Structure 1
């Protein structure tokens, strides 16, 4: 086992950090800036097209009968998180700078992850079918709901008039919603190819995110991001990410138990209701916010992403051990009567 695996550090996060360093040292300017902006727009459209094409309609419909579980996950993702984000206002600006606070507000409006939520649910011994449904539904709803939540939580077009607002809505529809819907409608035609080339699709997804991050941080560096974000800011993001995740995990766990869910369903609620999607969040920020602000807005998301992976990896193993121990006790208890 490598030291990265022992520390449970996501290798993709290290690549993201490398791209941020590259953008800080060699930001794109002039003609290259224009070229990268066009490439970024195309990459975002391709990313959301693939998101739509990957989602299985059968998996979504098959899990919809478990509506109580999905409602709890939905409320955690799109109600609990935003409320906690608003509550963080008490720490701003004394303990939490305004740019970092806005980044946390944006994080709280995002949908859940799909892959990691399902993976952790499976490792922990949870209800995987329900996890597939909940995570997929969150991803779908997030394309439409997250921009609305962002608009409610903050003024993305401060000082802007109706033309700016209409322009933002048009950009969201064209760059996010249309490719997503087209991709999902095209699934009957390309679904087989997508399923056979998951590794290639994954590389395409991650390459698109890296391109967006490089372009966003290039603009941010030119705009002076490292004069706004200090070492203390990075430490505060880490601390508040841990606190935010811990509160959500505790609330989801006790909610599942108070409502009488089984342990398998509790696991699904805990992992699907506590995740925030890096894959959706970074491209979406590029559409929603001014170019110079994107780098600052996604910093909390990048750090929270790693925190949620590390904490949930440990939690999943703990659930798995607990499940295995209970099965052993049940087997021992049943042996004398056989």
Structure 2
């Protein structure tokens, strides 16, 4: 039992780390808060730039070019990410605001307008025997479009509630924080790719460590300002239920729609895993820019923090099912031949 627990913790160390970060923020908020002992607000800004610089190095121009031509797949995935998801907020946003704290409700708004992930979308597509070049192109395109679209959608939806912020300033700040380092990494890719490949295992963990520091910082600020005093376990359970409902609805809606559009197995797999996911890696730094030093940032981040492990778990199961389906189809073709 002890051995299996250790193995699980080793495998799921990032999820465990998020829980630990929240617990530490509750116990020692002055250590992790902005301007606190560790100065995490400054440390994490540098860490975010390094992460997206490394993402830029890791993006293969050839794979992106190979995925460009399938415009129907691209249009489908980006529509799910930036149209279908936000429509959920239009349909249910007022209900969220009526039954939960405003910050938590806006956290769901933020979750629904985020771009897709890169690494996990491509990884799940590969496991499911899907269209890998198409997944790489769409996940990358989504991240770039999100820099501009996410702040605009946030302003539109929150503006309906009388809340406003400088959209252009947010877009410029996010571009500097995420897009600029990614472009620099892509430019320097030919020079540093060999070194990057040698240390890929470390690189793959670095972004997760930075996210853990951001979570610790955000929750420390919230605890320091007393935001969680009126927050109950019922809201957490409600948030988990909403996240599950949204995920199941989107995934099954994408699967059904992909078949209606006549997508084959490979394109359907890419559509499901690129269209259904929301990014934690880019979402957390975006939140820091858009919402600034708002002490409610921890509550605003709660939905994406809950959604992230749920989408990984659910999509991992789907990826294995798609893989078995593809293998079975290959075996049937060999028998027929």
TM-score (structure 2 length as normaliser): 0.88
1:14 to 6, 13, 16: 16
> Quick one: distance in 2 between partners of 1:124 and 1:66?
19
Contact conserved, 2:222 with 2:298, CA < 8 A, in 1? yes
Offset, 1:26? 0.4
Of 140, 150, 153 in structure 2, the residue corresponding to residue 149 of structure 1 is 153
- Which residue in 1 is equivalent to 2:217? 215
Instruction: Give the SS at the match of 1:260.
Output: coil
Give the distance between the partners of 2:12 and 2:159, measured in 1 at CA: 32
Aligned partner of 1:100 in structure 2 is 104
Cα distance in 2 between the residues matched to 1:141 and 1:306: 24
Shift of 1:45: 2.2
| Residues 1:26 and 1:74: Cα distance change in structure 2 (over 3 Å) | same
Cα displacement (A) at 1:253:
1.0
Higher deviation after alignment, 133-142 or 91-100 = 91-100
Which of these residues, 67, 75, 78, is aligned with residue 82 of structure 2? 78
Give, in angstroms, the shift of residue 256 of structure 1. Answer: 1.0
Cα distance in 2 between the residues matched to 1:101 and 1:330:
50
| Number of aligned positions between the proteins | 332
- Contact 1:276 / 1:305 at 8 angstroms: preserved in 2? yes
The change in CA–CA distance for 1:250 and 1:270 in structure 2 (over 3 A counts) is same
Partner residue in 2 for 1:192 = 194
Matching residue of 2:68: 64
Residues 1:51 and 2:46 are matched in the alignment:
no
Q: Which residue of 1 aligns with 2:306?
A: 303
Gaps of 5+ in 1: none
- Corresponding residue of 2:251: 249
Which moved further from structure 2: 190-199 or 120-129?
190-199
Q: Secondary structure at the match of 1:278?
A: coil
Partner of 2:296: 293
**What secondary structure is seen at the aligned counterpart in 1 of 2:306?**
helix
Query: Could you tell me how far 1:257 is from its partner in structure 2?
Result: 0.8
Q: TM-score, normalised by structure 1?
A: 0.88
CA contact (8 A) 1:157 1:165 kept: no
**1:275 and 2:269 equivalent?**
no
Which SS does the other structure have where 1:112 is aligned?
Answer: coil
Query: Does the 8 Å contact 1:253/1:270 carry over to 2?
Result: yes
Any conservation in 2 of the 1:156–1:289 contact (CA below 8 Å)? no
Q: 1:59 to 1:87 in 2, by over 3 A?
A: same
Q: What CA RMSD, in Å, does the superposition of the two structures yield over aligned residues?
A: 2.8
Deviation at 1:106, TM superposition (A): 0.5
Alpha carbons 2:117, 2:139 under 8 Å: kept: yes
Contact 1:33 1:215 in 2 (8 A): no
